[in-house]
Amino acid sequence: MLRIHMSGVDLSRVRMATRPDAMWETILSFHRLRDRRGSTVFGKWRTESRARLNGEARLLSAVVPLRGYFPDFLTPSQAGAEPFGLDAGMEALRDTPGDRLHGELALLAQQAPRQRLPGGRPPTALLDALAEGRTEPLGRLIAALHGYHRAAVEPYWAHIRASVEADRAVRGRALLDGGAEELLATLPSMIRWRRPVLEADYPVDRDLHLDGRGLLLQPSFFCRGAPVVYRDPGLPPVLVYPVTHPAAPASTEPGPWLGRLVGHTRSAVLQAVGNGCTTSELALRTGVSLASASQHACVLREAGLVLSLRHGGSVLHTLTPLGASLLRGGTAPLALS
């Protein structure tokens, strides 16, 4: 079990990440790629991503084992709630001090079983070269991460971002309704708020003391089962936790449902969703019945324009990037239905 000890100051400094973190999603998705579980959500994604890979997994397997510890430097941190984009994250990784590379890779070598890479080559030489801080192997690792991200994460980024934004809408509503403690109480079921400790299912027994630094909550599309924290307690405290998956990763190209989006009413419903609202609020904003609001939201969801997540006894709807983009295109084309 993981126990995160929080003071009153820490509670006042709980904050939500503003968007998905490209580095966390890249590393955690590599775990999902080799995991046979979660086929409903990740099965199609695995098949499509594996077809696009070009040997990147061979190198990444040396530093990201099938389970357990992977080096903290692979997911750089920064102050505030603004996560790293891919390019900035890769630059931060490139700037990792040599002594940190050495220490974290030594820890990996101690804790991870000595598995052989695909093709039969042991990872020892690569890990030793990285630990020595050599430029060439670190450049190879960064190139492999870039290639892997392009194949397995980038094509699904709109869906990943929409899922994270939908989760943020749920947590933000909880924060407004009851403050930081209500926010912590609404986190996924494997995380439990028992003042003054935030407990979570975790593969090892661990205590993390925030000591007034607060906590960044980072929702993640590819996190699964248990949340993730840095092993090094000296790093800025971050809790990466899984979002609720209303659907599997999908292309953001308009599908056959788009033809059903014709008429002023549905256009008004899409605009009323805005930054998030429940079905009841949607009915009030558009002047339609609750049943009609629910039906319109269902069609918008099937078209990939809206995400819907249950929040307590209500259903909260938020726009996907495609839905927001359609709204930004102007009001005339939105007279669809």
Which helix or strand (DSSP H or E) is residue 125 part of? helix 124-131
Q: Which two tokens stand for residue 10?
A: 């820490």
What's phi and psi for 186, nearest 5 deg? -95, 5
Q: Would you state the pLDDT for residue 266?
A: 81
Q: Would you state the pLDDT for residue 124?
A: 65
CB 56 within 8 A of CB 147: yes
Q: In what order do the strands lie in the sheet with 215-220?
A: 14-16, 215-220, 238-242
* CA-based nearest residue to 275, from 327, 204, 235, 336: 327
Q: Which two tokens stand for residue 218?
A: 């980072």
Beta strands 277-278; 238-242: pairing state: unpaired
Q: Which two tokens stand for residue 281?
A: 């609020």
Assigned fold of 256-334:
Arc Repressor Mutant, subunit A (1.10.10)
Q: Would you state the pLDDT for residue 62?
A: 87
Q: Would you state the pLDDT for residue 214?
A: 95
Each residue of 231-284: pLDDT tens digit? 999 999 999 999 987 644 544 444 554 445 546 778 788 888 877 888 888 888
Q: Would you state the pLDDT for residue 120?
A: 45
160-184 burial, b at 16+ Cβ within 10 Å, e below that, comes to bbbbbbbbbbbbbbbbeeeebbebb
Q: Would you state the pLDDT for residue 253?
A: 45
Q: Where are the domains of the chain?
A: 2-17+158-242, 22-156, 256-334
> Which stretches of the chain score pLDDT less than 50?
116-122, 247-248, 250-254, 257-259, 262, 330-337
